[in-house]
Amino acid sequence: MDEAPDSDPLKVLLAWHREALALGAREPDAMTLATATRDGRPSARVVLFKGLADGQLQFVTNFGSRKGLEIAENPQVALTFFWPELARQVRVEGVAERASDADSDAYFRSRPRESQIGAWASSQSQAIASRAEL
Ligand SMILES: Cc1cc2nc3c(=O)[nH]c(=O)nc-3n(C[C@H](O)[C@H](O)[C@H](O)COP(=O)(O)O)c2cc1C
């Protein structure tokens, strides 16, 4: 039988995430992020875990995306990680906070040029009329 997990849930999350990485799990960083409109209509999608900073789970997205707009009007969110290879999930509920402009800009600058152009050229969550427009 497994040992009892640490009583600090963030330590458990990091330990299981490390195990998933070590095992060569297919998408160890993938987590499902649920947001909701102001009146509580939920939506969910997968985003990538970018690590912990000051005890906060980080992910990156476009502020103008559906999730970005929903978080701006209702910061209550939920996340789940699922690692099939470990037969484990982690559930997280909390309040999302926007990173500082300086941190957002630093992340954008750290991205490869193609990714910067992609983010700049396409509005996340918006349909593009045609390939020519893109
Ligand atoms: C494996 C995987 C990883 C993804 N990672 C991200 C991510 O880190 N950030 C992000 O904004 N979208 C990510 N996406 C795309 C989102 O799931 C979603 O389609 C997109 O962000 C638009 O969501 P929204 O319209 O609900 O805002 C990922 C999708 C997949 C399948």
Domains (ranges, CATH) in the chain? 9-99 (2.30.110.10)
Atom 18 of ligand 1, nearest CA residue:
45
Collapsed DSSP state (helix, strand, coil) of residue 125: coil
Q: Give the separation between CA 132 and CA 134, rounded to whole angstroms.
A: 5
Q: Residue 127 in contact with residue 108, Cβ under 8 Å?
A: no
What pLDDT does residue 48 have? 97
CA 81 – ligand 1 centroid, Å:
14
What pLDDT does residue 3 have? 67
Q: In the block, which residue shows the tokens 């330590």?
A: 11
pLDDT at 5 over 80: no
Atom 31 of ligand 1, nearest CA residue:
46
Average pLDDT over residues 50-73: 94
